[in-house]
Amino acid sequence: MNDNKDYFKVSKHKDYLYVIKENISVVHPAYTNDPLNMYLLLGSNTALLLDTGCGLYPLKPVVDELIGEKNLLVFNTHTHWDHVLGNEEFGEVYVHEKEVAIISKPYDVSHFKDSPNEIVNKYAEKNFLIPPAKVINTLKDGDVFDLGEINVEIIHTPGHSSGSICLLTSTGELFTSDVAYYGDQFLPKKEEFPQVLNTLSELIALCEKQKDLELYPSHRNYPCDMTLLTDLYNGIKNIENLWDTKKDFEFFNRWQIDDESGKFRYYISKV
Ligand SMILES: [Zn+2]
C-alpha cells in the first residue's frame, strides 16, 4: 500500500464536514478502536482539521485537495499517539495548554517496536521518535474560532487525558474526541474517575440544553446522540461493581474490565 489515497478513507458527511478515517489497528492489533475519525470542517474562509492521525502516510495532500484555497487550522483533541503523529506535516498545530509539553518534543513510539505488523518499519525509519510540529499554539476552555459562517467553541473536558477538548459548533455538532465513543476506553486510575464522570455530566447537561446536538466521536461510529454519554457515564459508574473481574492487560500495563453490555471495554491505568 504505497498510495495514501487508498490508505485514508475520505467521506463527505455534510456540505461542510468531511471525515477522514484511518485504521489504527494497522500499527498494533491491541488497538481495536477502528477507525480513527479525523474531522475536517469547512467554513467559508477557514477549514479546521481535528487531529492528524498515526503519521504513517502523508495526510496533508489529502486535506489540501479538500480545502482548496481556504486557510487551515489544525487542532489536536488530545496528545495520544493516534491523534498527533502527523503534526509535523502541518507545521503549526493547536492543543490544550495542559498538553503542550507532550507534543513539543519528538514523540516516542518505541512501545511499537515489537508489533507483529510490518508497517511499524515506517516508525523505525525515524528511530521510533516522530518529530513534532514547528509551531504549537495553545487552546483553553471557552476559546472561539470563526471559520466563516461556522463558529467553533473549545470545551475543556479533562478525564481521558488532562488536556482533552471537545468542540461545539454553531451548526449543532459536538465533536467528543476520545472523551466519549463506543469501544475500548482508556481511563485514568480509579481515584480519578470522579473527574471523568464530572466531564461526562457536563456534556450531558449541554445536550439536555441543546436537544438536537449531534455527537461526533474520534473513534468508530458517528454521529451519535446523547445516549452515548449516558451509556458511558453509567458504564464507568458500574466499574466499581465489576472491579473483582479485572485482568492484567500486559501490553498496555493496565487493568482490563469488560462491560456487561458489550458496548465498552475499559483499560484502566494502574498508577
Ligand atoms: Zn484515540
| CATH code of the domain containing 15 | 3.60.15.10
Q: Return the biggest CA–CA distance within the chain.
A: 56
Residue 156: domain span: 4-184+195-234
In the structure grid, which three cell numbers stand for residue 124, read together? 523505525
Please provide residue 30's backbone torsions phi and psi, each rounded to the nearest 5 degrees: -65, -20
- Whole-model pTM: value is 0.95
Whether 253 is covered by a domain: the verdict is no
The predicted structure's pLDDT at residue 1: 46
Q: What is the mean pLDDT of residues 45-60?
A: 97
pLDDT in tens, 184-219: 999 999 999 999 999 999 999 999 999 999 999 999
Cell numbers 469501544 correspond to what residue?
183
Q: What is the mean pLDDT of residues 132-142?
A: 98
178 Cα to the center of ligand 1, angstroms: 6
51 Cα to the center of ligand 1, angstroms: 10
In the structure grid, which three cell numbers stand for residue 79, read together? 496528545
Residue-averaged pLDDT of the chain: 95
Whether 247 is covered by a domain: the verdict is no
Whether 249 is covered by a domain: the verdict is no
80 Cα to the center of ligand 1, angstroms: 6
Q: What does DSSP say about strands 173-177 and 214-217: parallel, antiparallel, or unpaired? A: parallel
Domain count, the chain: 1
Helices (H), 119-270: 121-124, 193-209, 227-242
3 Cα to the center of ligand 1, angstroms: 24
User: Does residue 63 register a pLDDT over 80?
Assistant: yes
The predicted structure's pLDDT at residue 5: 58
Whether 190 is covered by a domain: the verdict is no
Q: What does DSSP say about strands 135-139 and 92-96: parallel, antiparallel, or unpaired? A: parallel
